[in-house]
Structure formats: C-alpha cells, structure tokens
Structure 1
C-alpha cells in the first residue's frame, strides 16, 4: 500500500472513521457531533446505496492505493466490501474517533448466539483497525445480549482486548489463552500509554436519551490513555436525561397533551386511566425530561413537521413528492405475543426482522382502535433519522437497515460527549 506524505493527511478539526456503517445511523450521529468523516466501510449492497445517496462517495478497493482523504466540505469515501481487506495504516495519527457497530448476530438471540465461534464476529477487525490507526477514542455499539451471563466472560475478554489491542492473539490460539495473557498485562503497572486504552461500557435504553423507542443496547467506549481524558466527566455527560416516570407525570398533569391538542378527550382519559393504574413513582424536584413517545415522533419533534395523518394501505407512492417512504402497507395483523405499538409510549424495538416485517413490532394502534403497519418513514422517525434521509431498496431492505442501525440521537449523545472530553483534555 502507498501511504501518503504526512502533509497530505493532516485534517482540520475533529475527525472520524466509521466501520460496519450499515444504513448510517451512527455515522450520521458522529458527523452531527462535529466530527469530519475520513472513511466509511460497509459490505451490504443496499446499505452502501443508502450511504452513497446521503453522505458518501463510493470507492472500490483496488489493492494499490488507499482512498483519498477528503478535505473540508468533501464527502468521505465509502470503501465497499469486506472490512478484512481494508488497510488503515495511511490514517495513523490523524483519527480522533473510530466508531462502528460490529455485526451483532453472533450475540443476539436472532443470530443463534454463537458468539466468538460465529464468523460474522466483527470485533477482531475493530481491534486491527485500532492498531493501524491509533485513534484517540473508540465507540462500539452492540446488542444487550453481550451482557447475558452466558456471554459475560467473552464480553469481559472483548473489553480487555480493546484495552490492549496491540497484544495480538496467537494464530490458532484460543481466546481463553489470549485472555490470560491480557489479564496479566493489565495487572502490570507499566505499558506504553499510546498503545493502551481505558475502556468502559454503558447498558442503555435509547428511550432514556430522547429516542421515541424502547431499545436496549450496550455501548463500549475507549480512550487512548496518553490523551488523558476525564472519564468521570464523560460519564456525567452521557448520564440519561429522560425517564418513563416523567412521561407519566406529564400525561397525568396535562403538559403532555399541550403539544397534542388534537387528541380527543376520550382518548386522553383512556391513556390516563391506564397510567393511573400503575405504581406511582412519579418524579419530584429536579426531574428528568419525559420519554419521547411514538405520537411525539409522528406529530413532529426537534423541528420536524407532522406526518400526514392518513396513509392509504396500498403500494402507491402517493407521498413521493412530500415525504420520503411514507407509504402504506397492507395486511397488518395483531396476534398473541405480537402486540402493536401504542401512540403514547415509545415505540417497541425496531428490528431487522424477516423481510422487514417482524410481526407486531411494526404495527401501530391508532386512536380509533384500528391498526396498520408503520410506514418506513414513521419507523425512520422512531430511529431519529431526519426526513431527508433516503433509504435504498424495497421496503423489506429499508426496514432491515433501520432495524440494524444505531438511533441517531443516541449515537449523537455519546459522540458529543467524546468530543467534549477530548477538547477538555487538550486544553489542560
């Protein structure tokens, strides 16, 4: 590989690289947090098309030269293909944040939970990228299944491997043997701070971060030790600011309905009666913000306009010139074990599902007690994508991209916190 001269690779401002970019949720979050993307990588065809449509320039690997490093204002290159074939040495020393969501199928129930034995495990490639780039910080998002008791030993190993990414696993060696080596080295006081990272993980529910969706995930964050960030300050910045109790209080005291004045009194009473039957536990004093609800998302939050209220149950793109992908889909069903989304709660977890239609998870219960499938655009709002974000492919592929994505608002909270502590560390 030809590595450019250092004068060619000195970017201005905060910089980032995104691996396993998928439909772009975390990549967009990092960019919105002020990082300039230098490189994206993705394998799935439709996800690549989405990234090119919205924020990147397609770059095919030729095996000779690295992708061009974009200057301020240019779209970053999207390297299409297997991340194992991408070299990152040319970016050494110029990347502030490496972000990505290594494929979660090895650790999810839907992926048969094979963990380290699953060839789709993307963590080894994240560690290789760290060795070659030496970023100042790393963000990884994955499913909460990593924290299950059966996976906890391997999850702890992942964190130790992230702390010492330059200590490589021997060819053919087991992860258990490698873990023993890492444990001994971490117990030692000595070590090059340029090659050692301080690692923390955060079990999160996206709803606690202003996302109108119940979504349980784990976010792993690492800082290169020589940078000297204040980790307690970081924990403070990513502390959840929203709560279910505050939502219940807002519904019962009427402040929630102030922004939903078109909702009938009978619907309000029905919702309030359901909440009143639950244990109180309502906040007092310096309370968190109310969880965002599905109704909030559809009616418009954070500057978005309300979505059209009527969605015909056909496949005709009758909103094509108004809002992207707000198209009805027929034959929604509710059945045992697959209850619909309620308007006055955060939506259920958006899942990639089978053909993008994962049972009741994508069904919406309306105020008149009828139900229908959520549109792709409604689902994108639940994932906090802006309405201008275009998703490539047919409905099933669009829903798959959304189900695999990181909610933009959740990712942005963590990326902004990384930027803040890096800035503070450099001002010391």
Structure 2
C-alpha cells in the first residue's frame, strides 16, 4: 500500500482541539477525533461541526476500521502521570494512555505517529518507560525520535516546553528533521494582549503592556483536581505578577475604565497566549473552558511538527517500497 493521499489524521485525546487545529493548518484532514471530556467534545463540535468527534473512553475505541486510511496518528495523551505537579506515577497511573496509542498504531498502521506530553516525561526516572514506548513502536516497524520543543520558538507568547514523540518508518525518519526554532517571532505578553486589555476602556492598558515585556510562563491550572480557574501554584502566580498580571483568578470580562491594580486574564486572553485564534470558541463555563485551554497543545507548534512530518513523507516517497497490503 502506498502513502495515503491526501494527508489524513486520527486524533486521540483531542481535548479542545489545539493539536487538531494545528494539524489542520498543516494540511491534514481529520478522519476522527477521540475525546472523553464532554465539554471538550462540545468545543470541537462548536468550532468544526463537520469533524467526526467520537466521545468516549479511548480504551474502548477500535482503530481497525481506519486501517490503511490514516497518514498520521496524533494526540496529546494525558500528562498527569508524568507531570512535576503530580505524583509522577508513570505507567502505574491509570490515566497513562501510551499503551493505548501503541495499540492503536498497530490497528491503524498509520504512516506516522506524533504524541505530545509534558517535559517531566524526559526525567531520568522515566528512561525505562521511554524505552518501553520506543520498543512498542519499533515492534510495529517504526523508528522513534523524542524532542523537547518550546512553544515560544514557534511564535507562541509562552515558554511551554513540551515533549514530542515522532514515530516514522526508517526511510521516512531518514528524511525527517525537527522544525527550526524562531524565538524572535514570539510576541511579549503585552504585545499579545494589549488590544484585549484596552477593549473595555482601560486607559492604563498601554502602560501595562510596556511593563509586560516578556513571554508568559507556562499556562497551567488545567487539572480537574484543581479548585478553580487561576494561573497555577504560588511560583507561577509570582511569575505572572512580574508581568503585571494577577494570577489568583480569571476574570469574566476585560478590564473596564475603572480598573485599578493588576488586571486578571480572561479565558480568551489565556487562549491567545496558547496560540488559539480568537475565532476558536470554548464550550462550558469559565472553569471548564480554562481547563480546556490550560491542557491544550499550542496549534502553531502542532502545525510546525505536522508540516515536517508531511515533508519527510513526500521526500521519502520515491525511495520507498510499497507497504504490504493490510
């Protein structure tokens, strides 16, 4: 079987669609998006009614109907098992979905796999588990590459380091290269948000923007175990305060003419700092919407990696043997 044309994607743990949107920007068409959270599924349907959103447990999803039809199996599998903000139970955490990703790769046999997670997965304590993941994909005929990418290097006004796993056939991996970083393209928090801060009549917005002259810390606070919508633990709140942002809660609306002291972010502001376009809407109330934003993979980063995978597939095509029929 030759390479799938056009580019098609099967998205797992799709969340609010950050990765799916980025892959759409890179030219992929989504055959299906699998997501457990009802609010996130509603967000996907709200923004892309034509997408095939499969709401349910990934462990019950059967990939065999998609076998031979998918260019890219992609997903942001749950980060809690590896996050420094949690217990880091890894494979012993029942939220770990790497085994399901490997299972689905075997069922679907895509041209490529791209999985995203937190930087904690690269800690020495998880070396053996990374080797286990790599061995699972290797048994299916893929080579695996790992890389920590920072969102700021791809135009996102936020640091947000994320681990990306790419699994490709050996001849395609020989053509693959990680996207080139361009940190100078990322605006500061002030540059990114000044129009929103000023939109309610706050006269101090421009002065605030001049002081918010760095990129944002990682947007966090997306856990369901977290009490409400704020910008994370004490250390994160201090980093936000240095940018002139009160991180103790999110606001329902932009600052008004009578704004005093440090402003709060709105969900829309947080989404812009994640690289979402302003046209992307979030279903659910403020806390649910912010959790979706906080857990998202920035679309520009997904787009950058997705393009590199597509280019490697095209470059390898003349050299490739036809894949065996499935």
Shorter-normalised TM range: 0.7 to 0.9
User: Who is 1:297 aligned against?
Assistant: 192
Call closer, same or farther: CA 1:119–1:365 in 2, change over 3 Å. Answer: same
Matches of 2:187 and 2:176, distance apart in 1? 24
SS at match of 1:229: helix
Conserved? CA contact 1:362–1:373, under 8 Å: no
1:22 is aligned, of 15, 18, 31, to: 15
Do structure 1's residue 229 and structure 2's residue 102 form an aligned pair?
A: no
Cα shift at 1:412: 0.6
User: Who is 1:371 aligned against?
Assistant: 262
1:357 is aligned, of 230, 237, 255, to: 230
User: Who is 2:162 aligned against?
Assistant: 217
Matches of 1:371 and 1:156, distance apart in 2? 46
Matches of 1:119 and 1:388, distance apart in 2? 35
SS at match of 2:117: strand
SS at match of 2:81: helix
Matches of 1:415 and 1:219, distance apart in 2? 11
1:272-291 deviations in whole A, cap 9, x for unaligned? xxxxxxxxxxxxxxxxx354
Cα shift at 1:76: 2.7
Structure 2, unpaired ranges of 5+ = 203-210, 246-258, 320-326
SS at match of 2:172: coil
Cα shift at 1:36: 0.6
Call closer, same or farther: CA 1:46–1:37 in 2, change over 3 Å. Answer: same
1:78-121 deviations in whole A, cap 9, x for unaligned? 11100111111111111000100111111112331111111000
Matches of 2:104 and 2:13, distance apart in 1? 12
Q: What TM-score, normalized by structure 2, do the two folds share?
A: 0.82
Matches of 2:201 and 2:61, distance apart in 1? 45
Cα shift at 1:349: 0.6
Matches of 1:312 and 1:294, distance apart in 2? 19
Q: What TM-score, normalized by structure 1, do the two folds share?
A: 0.63
Cα shift at 1:379: 0.6
Cα shift at 1:396: 0.9
SS at match of 1:22: coil
Call closer, same or farther: CA 1:369–1:415 in 2, change over 3 Å. Answer: farther
2:120 is aligned, of 145, 165, 168, to: 145
SS at match of 1:110: coil
User: Who is 2:206 aligned against?
Assistant: none
RMSD, aligned CA: 2.5
SS at match of 2:30: strand
Do structure 1's residue 381 and structure 2's residue 272 form an aligned pair?
A: yes
1:5-44 deviations in whole A, cap 9, x for unaligned? x9xxx98511111000001000111111001100100001
Q: How does 1:27-46 map to 2 (within 5 A)?
A: 27-46=20-39
User: Who is 1:238 aligned against?
Assistant: 179
Cα shift at 1:210: 1.5
Matches of 2:200 and 2:298, distance apart in 1? 24
1:305-335 deviations in whole A, cap 9, x for unaligned? x43515589xxxxxxxxxxxxxxxxxxxxxx
User: Who is 2:292 aligned against?
Assistant: 401
Do structure 1's residue 412 and structure 2's residue 303 form an aligned pair?
A: yes
SS at match of 1:203: strand
SS at match of 1:211: coil
1:64-86 deviations in whole A, cap 9, x for unaligned? xxxxxxxxxxx231111001111
Deviant stretches of 4+, over 3 Å: 310-313, 361-364
* Structure possessing the higher radius of gyration over alpha carbons: 1
Matches of 1:386 and 1:216, distance apart in 2? 20
Call closer, same or farther: CA 1:369–1:206 in 2, change over 3 Å. Answer: farther
SS at match of 2:294: helix
Call closer, same or farther: CA 1:97–1:296 in 2, change over 3 Å. Answer: same
1:97 is aligned, of 54, 59, 72, to: 72
